[in-house]
């Protein structure tokens, strides 16, 4: 079986009742299917290693063209497609299983980092057209979001079974900045743009810090 998009969000963590990333994914998926885009959506645990493993298991099962992992960045003021992931685990707080790795590699011996293979600037523009604050992010952090992004990027670079796929990560802000329903509309626009864009836009997306 081959599908268009594998879309993932995260379960609640750190005492929260909900996780806006999963709320947005859950609402975006039916809208994508209504546009005749085949999808599979998956809620990931906020656990180092396990979350990425579950994503990759699903990807190998459904052979998607596009893999978009979505996570919550509560302190941000925009929806932010991530440019790069780095090979480090450095937890400020324990994950949902109680793990608190410090300065450990995601993949021992793996490259320092990978770039997203999504058209992140085209996706950022598509998010903005939906009235959402949006910007390219230069750091996915060092917590489970980055862990998932790195494991995904490493697999896309090394696993022939996933050679047909492109993938990356998008952080979404808390609901007081952008309600999950609005984020879902933005994700639909961004994913449709990604499916239609084999090359990214050549426009500025940099930052001074």
Catalytically annotated residues = 82, 145, 171
At residue 194, what are phi and psi to the nearest 5 degrees? Answer: -65, -40
Residue of 40, 52, 47 lying closest to 4 (CA atoms): 40
Query: Taking the CB of residue 126, how many other CB atoms lie within 10 A of it?
Result: 24
For 103-145, the DSSP string reads SB-SSTT--SEEE--S-HHHHHHHHHHTT--B--BS---SSHH
Query: Taking the CB of residue 67, how many other CB atoms lie within 10 A of it?
Result: 27
């Amino acid at each position: 079986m081959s599908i268009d998009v594998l879309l993932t969000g995260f379960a609640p963590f750190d005492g929260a009742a909900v996780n806006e990333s999963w709320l947005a994914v859950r609402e975006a998926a039916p809208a994508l299917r209504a546009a005749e885009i085949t999808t599979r959506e998956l809620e990931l645990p906020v656990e180092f290693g396990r979350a990425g493993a579950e994503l990759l298991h699903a990807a190998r099962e459904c052979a998607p063209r596009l893999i978009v992992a979505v996570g919550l960045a509560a302190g941000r003021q925009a929806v932010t497609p991530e440019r790069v992931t780095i090979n480090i685990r450095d937890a400020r707080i324990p994950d949902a299983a109680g793990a608190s790795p410090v300065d450990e590699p995601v993949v021992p011996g793996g490259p320092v980092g990978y770039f997203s293979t999504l058209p992140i600037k085209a996706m950022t523009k598509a998010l903005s057209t939906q009235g959402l604050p949006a910007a390219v992010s230069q750091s996915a952090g060092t917590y489970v979001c980055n862990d998932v992004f790195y494991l995904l990027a490493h697999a896309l670079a090394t696993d022939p079974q996933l050679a047909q796929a492109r993938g990356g990560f998008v952080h979404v802000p808390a609901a007081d900045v952008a309600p999950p329903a609005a984020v879902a509309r933005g994700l639909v626009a961004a994913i449709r743009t990604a499916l239609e864009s084999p090359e990214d836009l050549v426009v500025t997306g940099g930052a001074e810090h």
